[in-house]
């Protein structure tokens, strides 16, 4: 039975890597998938998703005004059956688009796998995440680690000096240099101005 899945996490947990691995698993078995990504997230180029470890793939870029049920139907009508729809940066979905994706599952019988952040830099739910948490059949946390060594569940936005920012728009596209994943306790400490966050360390070279 087709289901709507929401895989959520804090920043830098490997959401896009997991999405691309899922797409590969389907394609390896001769199945066709559609990858959708918000047009506003153009870090890898419009219509492309890329992970921090170097994996990438072409995707269909969508705007907030787009009907995703119509988008998927168009792909099925034009190119044939789809076995899975995967959505990157799903926190940027609108309420209407989450409902449309639920219709992809219920009306078209196509599984939909959404990957995104749960909360923003203020600790508040994104619109897309809020409605995915309400409507998804399956919820799964992708875990990552705070610099304290404990599980990170929150994301803090920092300035050039590593101090927490609490003002500004909810959506500001950026990567490791702007956002850091931390525990709830560390989030509170940093937001209170009791410390700062060092940038993520570069990966160690492989022998």
Reference 118, options 93, 157, 154, 164; nearest CA is: 154
91 is in an annotated binding site: yes
Find all residues with CB under 8 Å of 8, minimum gap 6, and list them.
115, 116, 117, 118, 129, 132, 133, 139, 140, 141, 142
152 contacts 144 by C-beta, under 8 angstroms: yes
Was 203 annotated as part of a binding site?
A: no
Active-site position among 28, 79, 89, 194:
89
Q: Is 25 among the annotated ligand-binding positions?
A: no
Judge whether 156 is annotated as a binding position.
Answer: no
CA atoms within 13 A on the CB side of 45: 7
14 is in an annotated binding site: yes
Annotated binding residue at 63? Answer: no
| 88 is an annotated ligand-binding site residue | yes
Known catalytic residue: 127? no
What is the distance between the alpha carbons of residues 30 and 80, in angstroms, rounded to a whole number?
13
Annotated binding residue 179:
yes
Token representation of residue 39 = 């047009």
Q: Which residues are annotated as a binding site for ATP?
A: 9-16, 88-91
Which residues are designated catalytic? 89
Q: Which residues are annotated as a binding site?
A: 9-16, 88-91, 171-174, 179
Q: Which residues are annotated as a binding site for substrate?
A: 171-174, 179
């Amino acid at each position: 039975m087709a289901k709507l899945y929401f895989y959520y996490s804090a920043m830098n947990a490997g959401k896009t890597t997991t999405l691309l691995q899922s797409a590969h698993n389907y394609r390896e078995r001769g199945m066709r998938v559609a990858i959708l990504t918000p047009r506003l997230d153009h870090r890898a180029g419009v219509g492309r998703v890329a992970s921090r470890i170097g994996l990438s793939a072409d995707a269909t870029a969508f705007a907030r005004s787009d009907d995703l049920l119509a988008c998927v139907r168009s792909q099925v009508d034009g190119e044939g059956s789809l076995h899975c729809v995967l959505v990157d940066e799903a926190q940027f979905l609108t309420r209407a688009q989450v409902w449309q994706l639920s219709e992809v599952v219920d009306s078209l019988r196509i599984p939909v796998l959404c990957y995104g952040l749960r909360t923003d830099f203020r600790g508040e739910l994104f619109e897309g995440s809020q409605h995915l948490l309400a409507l998804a059949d399956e919820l799964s946390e992708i875990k990552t680690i705070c610099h304290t060594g404990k599980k990170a569940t929150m994301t803090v936005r920092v300035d050039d000096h590593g101090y927490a920012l609490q003002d500004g728009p909810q959506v500001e596209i950026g990567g490791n240099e702007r956002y850091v994943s931390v525990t709830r306790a560390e989030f509170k400490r940093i937001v209170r101005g009791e410390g700062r966050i060092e940038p993520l360390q570069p990966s160690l070279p492989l022998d």
